[in-house]
């Protein structure tokens, strides 16, 4: 077994995965991940991997004991500058030293710096291959006048990630099973959907279920987990859909635990 395959086995379980990214803090001071360890503690039993920047990994008390996959995010930008201009701020070698099982890169296809970002993706992909390190490419159609959920645009972004050598591709859900089938078909490596902006529980569960039906390998859900009052129940519900093929209604019943607790007068954290 190759080193890359062994590392991927820590992230993918029977071809599917549930990942919680917590790399948002560089882009802007997002609420919910002021202390990522609090989130990790609540979700660790139901997620397959987490995504963190190098500093968060270094300062975490729980990463060393986390049984799932650890993905080190290598790129960043801020809303104070040009948020679409993702720059590499760490290295594959540093990720290996930190004990990561994979690295991730964010690429905005269609942005004003698309060329530079694709150049970096190509270079990092080759470095990952040389170290047998899996690469998760976050491939988004994003730029002036670009529809980020348009199936043609999403399909193009995914195909670029595939051709550049990514091992897992994360992208936007296109809104329907039929259109996402077309997206999945352009890549022979796993395609997972992003959780996106904060939305309702039922919308999140429905989109993940539809993506799975279309052939997606799972989801990477950040804000809809760590900004939720019960992140533990959200990931438990998502895991049931991704790994056990639960229907939306069945998975949604897990979230009702929150309401039942509230009705008994318990304080939710």
Enzyme catalytic residues:
23, 140, 170
In eight-state DSSP terms, residue 87 is E
- Asked if 171 contacts 140 with a C-beta cutoff of 8 angstroms, the reply is yes
Listed residue (123, 122, 137) closest to 167, CA to CA: 137
Q: Mutual orientation of helices 248-263 and 201-214 as an angle, nearest 10°?
A: 160
Torsional class of 132: left (φ above 0), alpha (ψ -120 to 50), beta (otherwise):
left
- Give the residues across from 171 on adjacent strands: 193
Any idea of the CA torsion for 235, 239, 242, 245, to the nearest 10 degrees?
A: -130
């Amino acid at each position: 077994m190759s080193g890359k395959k062994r590392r991927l086995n820590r992230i993918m379980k029977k071809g599917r995965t549930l990942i919680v990214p917590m790399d948002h803090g560089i882009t802007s001071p997002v609420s919910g991940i002021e202390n990522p360890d609090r989130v990790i503690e609540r979700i660790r039993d139901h997620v397959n991997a987490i995504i963190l920047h190098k500093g968060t990994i270094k300062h975490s008390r729980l990463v060393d004991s986390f049984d799932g996959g650890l993905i080190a995010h290598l790129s960043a930008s801020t809303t104070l500058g040009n948020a679409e201009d993702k720059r590499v701020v760490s290295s594959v070698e540093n990720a290996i030293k930190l004990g990561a099982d994979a690295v991730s890169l964010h690429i905005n296809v269609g942005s004003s710096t698309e060329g530079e970002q694709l150049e970096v993706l190509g270079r990092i992909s080759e470095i990952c291959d040389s170290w047998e390190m899996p690469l998760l490419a976050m491939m988004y159609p994003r730029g002036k006048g670009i529809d980020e959920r348009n199936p043609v645009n999403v399909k193009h972004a995914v195909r670029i990630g595939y051709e550049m050598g990514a091992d897992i591709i994360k992208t936007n859900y296109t809104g329907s099973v039929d259109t996402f089938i077309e997206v999945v078909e352009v890549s022979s490596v796993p395609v997972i959907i992003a959780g996106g902006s904060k939305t309702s529980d039922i919308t999140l569960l429905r989109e993940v279920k539809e993506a799975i039906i279309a052939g997606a390998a799972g989801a990477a859900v950040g804000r809809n987990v760590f900004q939720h009052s019960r992140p533990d129940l959200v990931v438990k519900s998502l895991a049931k859909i991704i790994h056990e093929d639960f229907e939306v209604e069945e998975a949604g019943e897990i979230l009702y635990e929150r309401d039942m607790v509230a009705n008994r007068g318990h304080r939710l954290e």
